Chains A and B, each alone.
Chain A
Amino acid sequence: MMCNQNPKSKIPPGRRPLRAGGQNPKYYTWILWTFFLITILLGVAVFSLAVGAVDLPVRKAFFLLTKGRGTPEYAILFEVRLPRILLGFAVGGGLAISGVILQGMFRNPLVEPYTLGISGGAALGVCVNMVMGGPRVLGPLATSASGFLGAMGIIFLVYAISARGGGIRLSRLLLIGVMVSFMASSLIMLVMAVTRTEDLHGIIFWIMGSLEEPSSFLMKATLFISLGGMMLSFLFAVDLNALSLGEEEAFHLGVEVDRVKKALFVIASLLTGCCVAVAGIIGFVGLVVPHLMRLLVGGDHRILLVASYISGAAFLILCDTLARVVIAPMEFPVGVITGLVGGVVFIYAMSRKGYSF
């Protein structure tokens, strides 16, 4: 059979040929990548558990895990640091796969989860809520709720405007999203200009993003939604592959383009909306992680989604750990670290390797 001829050719690593007959080596590579990234994630998580204002050596942490119930160290580990790590996992992973989905769908390397106005809407919601005195009247949950409502309100508006006249045209959706973002930030500035100084501080800190979340219910809900969104989007991995050839090509490959676009849009919006609502605007994860992973594992969404989720989670946990360690007991806003670390790593990686989206 023709397929058994294997002409000698220079094949770059990671793109070894599939051999008809035996097992598919591509899948081995994928599995290896997944294990490698999970190892990094676990390493980062353990590191994050151990360091902080109170240093707890890893061995001691394991000891505490079994016998330390009731001690102050136990409380630090399991009531302060662990929830934060889990939230970092959920938010980092969620933002990263939102980025993968949107970049894949729009076939535009500059798109990130916040491009469509989600962050602007959430920030506006939180701003209005804080100025109206929401947190004092309704408790801490009100901030997240208002952020989520703001995000969903904006995304619904963007979608409704761009879907007029049937079907979603992506370039239109993108432009309207960008415009609505600008309008939201103008409104935020307006609100801030008339705000009392005490409230201003709260707004600015929320906008800079933080993984400190007092409510364990919200932490669990975010974790659940983030993992659920991951699994749902994985069902569209092959459709995303087809869509990366263009919408017309995807149709010719049997993809129900409109339906898939709508579903992906909803998944990405919900994921981002939840992440922003609990953690504020943590930038850069959704932009940089998908690009870095595309460099490492290639453009196939079946591995790209998984790899991005794991490394997005690891990246955010690491950045958050740095944010609380560097000037302990004070904290940097985590968004500062994600931007600096992410930007440097990405520019370095891109200049090392020929990369085109």
Chain B
Amino acid sequence: MVKVEDLSCGYGKEIVLKDISFEVKTGQFVGLIGPNGSGKTTMIRAISGLLPPQKGVILLNGNAVSRKRPRELAAKMAVVTQSQEATPPFSVEEFVLLGRVPHWGRFQLLETKTDVEIAERAMALTGISHLRGRGMGKLSGGERQLANLARALAQRPDLLLLDEPTAHLDIGHQVQIMRLLKKLNTEALTIVAVLHDLNLASLYCQRLILLNKGRLRMAGHPREVLTEEIINEVYETSIVVKEDPYISRPLVFPVY
């Protein structure tokens, strides 16, 4: 689905990502992890086509992302970003319906019946149908994130990129979102998510990509990536790794 080849990119002269190569296969659920400032958000921006590569190439289904128009990209992939400082002046339903815009014709101004149905389904799936008439400014953090997800799903994407979907959420909402992503993933949605919580990443992702200082440190199954040696080195801390009792995934504990 996504192939990153020898990618370097950044903002102006400041190069954030250096010589990165990896592949995300169709149907995978990949977690992007790494310390603050390691380039995770930049990686999402690069894959989404917002940030053109300075070197190397990013391929989406074999086509270079940087050569595609925003509309073509938006019809294939949806992005849930971290920056949501603005409160959109819309109701939840109007907000979710915006996800249909990439599929509209250039001079289309009104949504069709199908658009409304798809938005309804996206809201039902994320469990926010009862909030449809609520203004976006009146949502809690968890509800807001579910609305973002619903809007992304209304795009009917093949690939879903998420930048810290569980940030600032309580554990109930964190698990709700991760389970939902897992469920969508089993229904053939490819997912790349930036995750700060290593344990959530370990439990739900099939593959982890660990970035450190703009370089790819390690990519592989959570059991390969989340070892005491690697995590202690990259995060410059001391943790211990224990095994989760249910699905034998590694869990990370800070040392007191």
Q: Interface residues, chain A, CB within 8 Å of chain B?
A: 1-3, 5, 7, 9-12, 15-21, 24, 27, 107, 234-235, 237-238, 241-242, 244-246, 248-249, 251-257, 294, 298-300, 302, 356-357
Within 8 A of A (CB), among B93-141: 93-94, 97-99, 101-102, 104, 107-111, 113, 116-117, 119-121, 124-125, 129-133, 135, 137
B89: CB under 8 A from chain A? Answer: yes
Residue pair B50, A5 in contact (C-beta under 8 Å): no
Candidates A11, A18, A24, A245; contact of B86 at CB < 8 Å: A245
Q: Given the complex of chains A and B, what is the CA–CA distance between A129 and B73 in angstroms?
A: 51
Interface contacts beyond A254-B70, A254-B74, A254-B75: sample of 11 additional A-B pairs, CB < 8 Å, sorted by A: A2-B120, A7-B129, A16-B133, A17-B93, A18-B120, A237-B109, A245-B86, A252-B81, A255-B101, A256-B69, A257-B70
Distance in angstroms from B72 CB to nearest chain A CB is 8
A contacts with B: majority SS? loop
Candidates A20, A245, A249, A357; contact of B117 at CB < 8 Å: A20
Q: What are the nearest 3 A-B pairs in CB distance?
A: A299-B89, A254-B74, A3-B120
User: Which residues of B have CB within 8 Å of A252?
Assistant: 48, 50, 70, 74, 78-79, 81
Q: A235-B107, A299-B88 are in contact. Are A254 and B71 (CB under 8 A)?
A: yes
Within 8 A of A (CB), among B215-233: none
Q: A20-B116, A302-B109 are in contact. Are A253 and B133 (CB under 8 A)?
A: no
Residue pair A11, B120 in contact (C-beta under 8 Å): no
User: Which residues of A have CB within 8 Å of B131?
Assistant: 9
Q: A235-B107, A237-B109, A253-B102 are in contact. Are A2 and B74 (CB under 8 A)?
A: no
Q: A241-B98, A256-B70, A298-B89 are in contact. Are A246 and B83 (CB under 8 A)?
A: yes
User: Which residues of A have CB within 8 Å of B206?
Assistant: none
User: Which residues of A have CB within 8 Å of B130?
Assistant: 7, 9
Distance in angstroms from A106 CB to nearest chain B CB is 11
